[in-house]
Amino acid sequence: MSAAYVSTRGEAPKLGFTDAMLAGLARDGGLYVPEVWPTFSFAEMSDFAGRSYADIAEAVIAPYAGDSISREDLRAMIDEAYETFRHPAVTPLVQTGPNRFILELSHGPTLAFKDVAMQLLARMMDHALAERGQRTTIVGATSGDTGGAAIDAFRGRDRADVFILMPWGKVSEVQRRQMTTATEDNVHAIAIDGSFDDAQALVKAMFNDHAFRDRLALGGVNSINWARVLAQVVYYFVAAVALGAPRRTIDFVVPTGNFGDVFAGYVAKRMGLTIGKLVIATNINDILARTLETGRYEVRGVQPTTSPSMDIQVSSNFERLIFDACGRDSGIVRGAMGSLAQSGSFELNRRTLGAIRREFLAGRADEAEVADTIDRVRRETGYLIDPHTAVAYAVADSVELDPATPTVVLSTAHPGKFPDAVEAASSVRPDLPPHLSELLELPEKLVRLPNDLVAVQAFIEANARIVRGEAA
Ligand SMILES: Cc1ncc(COP(=O)(O)O)c(C=O)c1O
Ligand SMILES: N[C@@H](CCOP(=O)(O)O)C(=O)O
């Protein structure tokens, strides 16, 4: 049986796994979540010890996919996706102190944790589209990493055209070039005059324009797509089991922007994984840390930082958490999201806030703390971290965690993606791995558009093959 997926806003049809994956955003503007969380027993999780990344990925993903993908096909796609990684463990752990570990998530093709999900998602979407004889037009927003990972995973795929919106001038040069140097006709990098939040709002507006959505068969690869989050659940199991789960409890500290990554940790916990605290680590764009402190989610202007991928105020996946934490009352979610749209804020009720605080801690790191942390970790351990990882590392040092519990800091990007910030902090200029050594020399292809829905839709209509009627 395929698991059923429901929208957080309760007004869209229930879908199976493949339909939810191809839909991206639900038609009522909500996000799909599984109707029930599959769980593992203690014995099943104990059996993960010593198994490969691919084995654990198959075990974690299969209950969500049900019979919508055969087990053989799922395994073949998992194997192929993680063969693109430069480390045999896919997401290895490195110890940097007593009970302190870094989970390296940047061994994929574009050097960010997004590859973990995107390499698999592209294969699963392609597989589903081929079975159905369909094509899709993917629209995505990026603050730097999702776009590059999506373009790498989908470039040259015949059934998908990909349009990525990035905020003009607000991503690193390496991140921009990872999007603008792809030569394939099916990928399009678009810079819009605005912030990531503006780009994400445009993407959601395109999904909520049902005529446009249906005409172009829109698909999404941001973490609004449930399958993106699902693929990220896997590495929580892999890391925790390597450190002794389920016999031990493990804490995770997660650099957070759109809340997809840390929500994946929450899902792992709901599935039975012995996670103690999930720590939300933000840079100075600290809406989530403020919300946990006060119970009020309040959007303020975004400030540019050295961790640009986390320069986010409207944190999409928080909606999934509210839905679960409030007892799956879609009326509460609709109320909160309506208030957010109207006034830029909403209040969490006591029960919801209490449920969130039981699972999560939160902290912020300012720019000086991020730079100090990059420098200190390199001097003390010889290990060079990127600014996003440094946000989490600094927060891990500032929040109250049990020193007897292993703490895993998620390292979400390679320092070579942010050479200027890392060099300024540590006097060490990180290199890019050899497969990207020519990136800075390649010609770029980038379209600049105003932050305007009509202009963006017109560009996509003019360039999507589905509108031109080209058969897949
Ligand atoms: C390097 C890096 N770290 C952390 C984050 C934050 O992750 P999430 O948006 O899933 O909270 C992002 C962007 O998503 C990122 O690109
Ligand atoms: N930080 C992301 C922003 C988009 O987040 P997503 O996980 O919802 O795709 C990026 O680097 O693009």
The residue to mutate among 31, 32, 114, having the most atoms of ligand 2 within 8 angstroms of its beta carbon, is 114
User: For position 326, what pLDDT does the model report?
Assistant: 98
Statement: residue 305 has pLDDT above 70: yes
Measured in Å, residue 308 CA sits from the centre of ligand 1 at 9
- Tell me: the pLDDT tens digits for 181-213? 999 999 999 999 999 999 999 999 999 999 999
- Tell me: the pLDDT tens digits for 425-448? 999 999 999 999 999 999 999 999
Q: Which residues pair with 220 in a beta bridge?
A: 139
Mean pLDDT across the chain: 97
Residue pair 239/33 in contact (Cβ under 8 Å)? The answer is no
User: Which residue CA neighbors atom 12 of ligand 2 most closely?
Assistant: 142
User: For position 470, what pLDDT does the model report?
Assistant: 76
The beta strands (E) that lie in 275-422 are given as 275-282, 296-298, 345-347, 360-364, 407-411
Q: Give the atom of ligand 1 at the shortest distance from the alpha carbon of 258.
A: 9
Measured in Å, residue 47 CA sits from the centre of ligand 2 at 33
User: For position 106, what pLDDT does the model report?
Assistant: 98
Complex ipTM above 0.95?
yes
Measured in Å, residue 135 CA sits from the centre of ligand 2 at 23
Q: What does the block give as tokens for 89?
A: 């463990």
In the DSSP assignment, the letter for residue 310 is: G
The residue to mutate among 146, 223, 261, 389, having the most atoms of ligand 2 within 8 angstroms of its beta carbon, is 146
Statement: residue 3 has pLDDT above 90: no
User: For position 472, what pLDDT does the model report?
Assistant: 62
Averaged pLDDT for residues 227-242: 98
**Residue ranges around ligand 1 (CB below 6 Å):** 112, 144-145, 223, 255-262, 309-310, 388, 412-413
Q: What CATH code would you report for 93-110+227-426?
A: 3.40.50.1100
Statement: residue 471 has pLDDT above 60: no
Rounded distance between C-alpha atoms, residue 343 and residue 334, angstroms: 14
User: For position 98, what pLDDT does the model report?
Assistant: 94
Averaged pLDDT for residues 129-144: 97
DSSP string, 10-62: S-S--B-HHHHHHH-B-TTS-BEEESS-----HHHHHTTTT--HHHHHHHHHH
Averaged pLDDT for residues 41-56: 98
Ligand nearest to the CA of 179: 2
With a 6 Å cutoff on the Cβ, whether 145 touches ligand 2 is yes
Measured in Å, residue 209 CA sits from the centre of ligand 1 at 27
pLDDT band of 467, cuts 50, 70, 90: confident
How many Cβ atoms from other residues are within 10 Å of residue 408's Cβ? Answer: 26
Residues taking part in catalysis: 114
The residue to mutate among 223, 256, 412, having the most atoms of ligand 2 within 8 angstroms of its beta carbon, is 223
pLDDT band of 95, cuts 50, 70, 90: very high
Ligand nearest to the CA of 228: 2
Measured in Å, residue 112 CA sits from the centre of ligand 1 at 9
